[in-house]
A and B are shown apart, each in its own frame.
Chain A
Amino acid sequence: MKVRVKFAKEGAMKFIGHLDIMRYFQKAVKRAGLNAAFSEGYSPHMIMSFASPLGVGITSTGEYFDLELKSASSSEEMVKRLNDAMVEGMRILSIRQVEEGKAGKAMSLVAAADYVLTFREGKEPSEDWKKKIAEFTAQPSITILKKTKKSEKEVDIRPFIYHMEENEGSIYLTLAAGSSNNTKPELVMEAFCAFLGVPYDEWAFMVHRSELYADNGTEEERHLVPLENLGEEIE
């Protein structure tokens, strides 16, 4: 059976890169004694796939991976066991059973993500930026120069900013994520700073991801559902 694990990555753990987090969980699942399924061959690997890699330096309370199990106990017990195998900064938030097969793969489901951007002390723009958010998002298009290894091209990111607001000094964003139109919050901030006419400083703010969503809607209308909601608690 397949379960979806939701976890938080906070504090110093934000410095651990995606590949190392995968290795970390392979070992953690073993320490927790969960009955994971393995691939065949001389160096068997745990059958595990992550929804969306998180960049180094970013904290999160909305990370996911899917794990194939040979047998399971209750969600509650597995959460407890895996939490007992965590280090400071890592927390298991839920473990739920999800649909088998490729269609149900967390990685291919990801359609959007929530981010919270908080300015570091003394790094807030001097401009009265809070009021300008509405103006910024009201623009019909927001073009940015997207740099890849080979070329630079102009992209309109406005359609991929699903939501943007200020709350208690932080910026809350819902952005397109996943295999197509994936939009990084830093890119939105760069565009916002340009809009404000202030220099962009990548060290001015901290990025936190708080949720990953699947899109259960139609082509006309989005209906974002947190990935964990697609699974069911095991009693």
Chain B
Amino acid sequence: MRKLALSDEILLKIEKPARYIGNEVNSVNKNKDEVDIRFAMCFPDVYEIGMSHLGIQILYDMFNKREDVWCERVYSPWPDLDAVMRKKQIPLFALESQDPIKDFDFLGITIQYEMCYTNILQILDLSHMPLRAKDRGEEYPIVIGGGPCTYNPEPLAEFFDVFYIGEGETVFDEFLDIYKEYKKVGRSKKEFLERAAEIPGIYVPAFYDASYHEDGTLASFIPNNPHAKEIIEKQVVMNLSDVCYPEKPVVPFIKATQDRVTLEIQRGCIRGCRFCQAGMIYRPTRERDVEFLKKTAQAMLESTGHEEISLSSLSSSDYSKLPELIDYLIQECSARNVNISLPSLRIDAFSLDVMSKVQDIKKSSLTFAPEAGTQRMRDVINKGLTEEVILNGAAEAFAGGWTRVKLYFMLGLPTETEEDMKGIAHLAEEVAKKYYEIPKEQRRGRCQIVASTSFFVPKPFTPFQWASMCRKEEYLAKAKVVKDEIRAQLNQKSIKYNYHEADVTVLEGILARGDRRICDVLELAYKNGAVFDAWSEYFRYDIWMKAFEELGIDPEFYTLRERPADELFPWDFIHAGVAKKFLLKEWERAKEGVVTPNCRVKCSGCGAASYKGGVCIEG
């Protein structure tokens, strides 16, 4: 049997020891002497969150299909174990072999949200590795980052040797082949990084220098190494039915956040909501072949024994073969006693019919994401959902027996007025009214409307990347407007209102559009105790603000400024398919409240057509 990195005494004293022992169904064990490359794949958050992430499962499966690579997993040790590891000087280890991370060839970190940045430093620190790439010699693994946050990697630039910009399925084979060759002949890390920098999508931050204007904005960003390219091209997979998909995902022992088979039916989104980064950076929308999905669903259910399957995409209703796929799944899953969970469906007659077949109406709630309270505001963000559609959907749902409705909104969107904030309360009220229009004897008690607001964070590669944010106090004042207005509604007792924390939003905004100078802040905040910032019980806004102050960096430079059209952004060296010119045009249209049709209605010439695939070449 494998020897565990942690003693019985430690494992029995900490919460959920199953997070650290590996050995799960479908986890991969190899003989370390028979592989050339050892790769530690990290999701920098707690096990249950990390294990729910499809991207890691895809890469884990893909890497381990290679005989010369052993890919293992590592997640953030929870604060209880973190304290023990520091006290006892235990180096962070990978789950499969239980070997220290610092003995690996690579530490790959998927960066899914800004609030995990300090956890990345925790991973490096607990692995007994210097935090900064320049301080890590030949003996340390190469640290590589990927995932949506790498579309602005600059706030993390100092800590990584390499970033990979794009979808993981494309150039990793080439990358690993070159590494293997270089390792065999004993070439240096720098030589490898120089060669790697020539691979499309590979960005080596040390090979670039940034300079700044007096006002703090970026003046130039240029390569300092002849191997480094001026523009890094995002890598995309054009045929999603031809590419590897993990038929045997790892099945955790403890309940993960997503304890089910996840079937990714398509990538990208045709809608073009102006706040949505995923909707821009995953362009063009590409569907997976329905026969491929049927076959994969079956294989995954068989290999995992999961009791539930879920469809994953940014907007499942836009998948062209959805009825066929769902019919198949309903049949297949009822034979196997497997539940189906259907997120992100537009509420209409079709989806209500499907949901009534797969869910217990009494227990489930319906979700609408109007995102904004007034039509004007929805036009600004290009959310093609009208009040009429929402109210008709709600009426149909209530008639069908549902009594619980969730409504998601954002506050702090560009051009927002008080009327837009109040509109959130009014829309919730209109939805509630629809319920009480049903004759009393046919109703089942009171309806429950839950309106939730998050505060909008402008992201790179969206039309709102030029937009300004608000101060914490202003956000809270906006939430109060909504709260008071809801309390003034006739059906206020049926409406519950939640809002997201404002201080996390401010920090997320800084990290999302930050530059290299943020690296110092990040390191100082981490050293002063910031970690697990995504967890409200651990988030410490004061530590962050103190770090900004101590380093003389003004956080409001990153949040409060509306950027001029010609500003050079820290992420402009990345070419993500959508052209800056298109984004700027969308920004102008947003301010005028003009909507842009979705990709299937009319091509808007965003630039993604250059990949020659997906929705761009349909019909």
Which residues of A are interface residues toward B (Cβ below 8 A)? 10-13, 15-17, 20, 23-24, 26-31, 33, 38, 41-44, 46, 56-57, 85, 87-89, 203, 206
Stretch with Cβ within 8 A of A (4 or more), from B103-111, B249-257, B269-277, B591-599: B249-257
Q: Which residues of A contact B4 (CB under 8 A)?
A: 12
Bound state CA distance, A161 and B2, in angstroms?
35
User: In the complex, are the beta carbons of B18 and A57 less than 8 A apart?
Assistant: no
The answer, among A12, A15, A28, for a CB contact under 8 Å with B1, is A12
Q: Which residues of B contact A28 (CB under 8 A)?
A: 25, 305
Q: Which residue of B lies closest to A55 (CB)?
A: B12
In the complex, besides A23-B255, A24-B253, A27-B304, 19 extra interface pairs with C-beta distance below 8 angstroms are A11-B2, A12-B2, A12-B22, A13-B23, A15-B17, A15-B18, A15-B21, A23-B253, A26-B307, A27-B307, A28-B25, A29-B305, A30-B301, A31-B25, A42-B363, A43-B339, A88-B2, A203-B8, A206-B8
Q: Which residues of A contact B21 (CB under 8 A)?
A: 12, 15
Bound state CA distance, A29 and B18, in angstroms?
21
Q: A26-B307, A43-B339 are in contact. Are A57 and B8 (CB under 8 A)?
A: yes
List 13 A-B residue pairs with CB atoms under 8 Å apart, sorted by A's residue number. Answer: A11-B23, A12-B21, A20-B253, A23-B255, A27-B305, A27-B306, A30-B305, A30-B336, A31-B303, A42-B339, A44-B337, A89-B1, A89-B23
The answer, among B1, B301, B304, B307, for a CB contact under 8 Å with A11, is B1
Q: Which residues of B contact A16 (CB under 8 A)?
A: 18, 253-254
The answer, among B17, B25, B306, B307, for a CB contact under 8 Å with A87, is B25
Interface residue B9 (Cβ < 8 Å from any Cβ of A): yes
The answer, among A27, A38, A57, for a CB contact under 8 Å with B25, is A27
Q: Which residues of B contact A23 (CB under 8 A)?
A: 253, 255
Q: Which residues of B contact A85 (CB under 8 A)?
A: 25, 305
Bound state CA distance, A121 and B126, in angstroms?
29
Interface residue B501 (Cβ < 8 Å from any Cβ of A): no
Q: Mark interface residues in B342-366 (1 if CB within 8 Å of A CB, else 0).
A: 0000000000000000011001000
Bound state CA distance, A20 and B19, in angstroms?
12
Q: Which residue of A lies closest to B2 (CB)?
A: A12
Q: Mark interface residues in B1-34 (1 if CB within 8 Å of A CB, else 0).
A: 1101000110110000110011111000000000
User: In the complex, are the beta carbons of B359 and A42 less than 8 A apart?
Assistant: yes
Interface residue B302 (Cβ < 8 Å from any Cβ of A): yes
User: In the complex, are the beta carbons of A31 and B255 less than 8 A apart?
Assistant: no
Q: Mark interface residues in B538-577 (1 if CB within 8 Å of A CB, else 0).
A: 0000000000000000000000000000000000000000
User: In the complex, are the beta carbons of A20 and B337 less than 8 A apart?
Assistant: no
User: In the complex, are the beta carbons of A26 and B305 less than 8 A apart?
Assistant: yes
Question: How far does the Cβ of A101 sit from chain B's closest Cβ, in whole Å?
Answer: 23
Q: Which residue of A lies closest to B334 (CB)?
A: A44
Q: Which residue of B lies closest to A16 (CB)?
A: B253
Q: Which residues of A contact B302 (CB under 8 A)?
A: 31, 33
Q: Which residues of A contact B24 (CB under 8 A)?
A: 87
The 10 lowest CB-CB distance pairs between A and B, nearest first, are: A27-B305, A30-B305, A42-B360, A31-B305, A15-B17, A11-B1, A12-B21, A44-B337, A38-B337, A16-B253
Q: Which residue of B lies closest to A32 (CB)?
A: B305
Q: Which residues of A contact B254 (CB under 8 A)?
A: 16, 20
User: In the complex, are the beta carbons of A87 and B23 less than 8 A apart?
Assistant: yes
Number of interface residues of B (CB under 8 A): 31
Q: Which residues of B contact A43 (CB under 8 A)?
A: 307, 339, 360
Bound state CA distance, A41 and B362, in angstroms?
12
Bound state CA distance, A87 and B18, in angstroms?
14
Question: How far does the Cβ of A159 sit from chain B's closest Cβ, in whole Å?
Answer: 30
Bound state CA distance, A23 and B304, in angstroms?
12
- Most chain B CB neighbours (cut-off 10 Å) among A17, A28, A31, A44: A31
Question: How far does the Cβ of A229 sit from chain B's closest Cβ, in whole Å?
Answer: 29
Bound state CA distance, A24 and B306, in angstroms?
10
Q: Which residues of B contact A41 (CB under 8 A)?
A: 360
Q: Which residue of B lies closest to A86 (CB)?
A: B25
Q: Which residues of A contact B305 (CB under 8 A)?
A: 26-31, 85
User: In the complex, are the beta carbons of B251 and A27 less than 8 A apart?
Assistant: yes
Bound state CA distance, A46 and B307, in angstroms?
10
Q: Which residue of A lies closest to B4 (CB)?
A: A12
Question: How far does the Cβ of B2 sit from chain A's closest Cβ, in whole Å?
Answer: 7
Q: Which residues of B contact A24 (CB under 8 A)?
A: 253
Bound state CA distance, A98 and B251, in angstroms?
31
Bound state CA distance, A87 and B253, in angstroms?
11
Q: Which residues of A contact B8 (CB under 8 A)?
A: 57, 203, 206
Question: How far does the Cβ of A193 sit from chain B's closest Cβ, in whole Å?
Answer: 18
Q: Which residues of B contact A12 (CB under 8 A)?
A: 1-2, 4, 21-23
Q: Which residue of A lies closest to B303 (CB)?
A: A31
Bound state CA distance, A41 and B359, in angstroms?
10
The answer, among B9, B23, B336, for a CB contact under 8 Å with A88, is B23
Bound state CA distance, A88 and B8, in angstroms?
18
Q: Which residue of B lies closest to A26 (CB)?
A: B307
Q: Mark interface residues in B309-345 (1 if CB within 8 Å of A CB, else 0).
A: 0000000000000000000000000001101000000
Bound state CA distance, A79 and B170, in angstroms?
42
Q: Which residues of A contact B359 (CB under 8 A)?
A: 42
Q: Which residues of A contact B307 (CB under 8 A)?
A: 26-27, 30, 43
Q: Which residue of B lies closest to A41 (CB)?
A: B360
User: In the complex, are the beta carbons of B360 and A20 less than 8 A apart?
Assistant: no
User: In the complex, are the beta carbons of B18 and A20 less than 8 A apart?
Assistant: yes
User: In the complex, are the beta carbons of B23 and A31 less than 8 A apart?
Assistant: no
Q: Which residue of A lies closest to B361 (CB)?
A: A42
Question: How far does the Cβ of B18 sit from chain A's closest Cβ, in whole Å?
Answer: 5
Q: Which residues of A contact B251 (CB under 8 A)?
A: 27
Q: Which residues of A contact B337 (CB under 8 A)?
A: 38, 44, 46
Question: How far does the Cβ of A75 sit from chain B's closest Cβ, in whole Å?
Answer: 21
Question: How far does the Cβ of B224 sit from chain A's closest Cβ, in whole Å?
Answer: 48
Question: How far does the Cβ of A187 sit from chain B's closest Cβ, in whole Å?
Answer: 17
Bound state CA distance, A27 and B306, in angstroms?
6
Q: Which residues of B contact A31 (CB under 8 A)?
A: 25, 302-305
Q: Which residue of B lies closest to A15 (CB)?
A: B17
Bound state CA distance, A19 and B9, in angstroms?
21
Question: How far does the Cβ of A55 sit from chain B's closest Cβ, in whole Å?
Answer: 10
Question: How far does the Cβ of A186 sit from chain B's closest Cβ, in whole Å?
Answer: 12
Question: How far does the Cβ of B363 sit from chain A's closest Cβ, in whole Å?
Answer: 8
Bound state CA distance, A38 and B25, in angstroms?
23
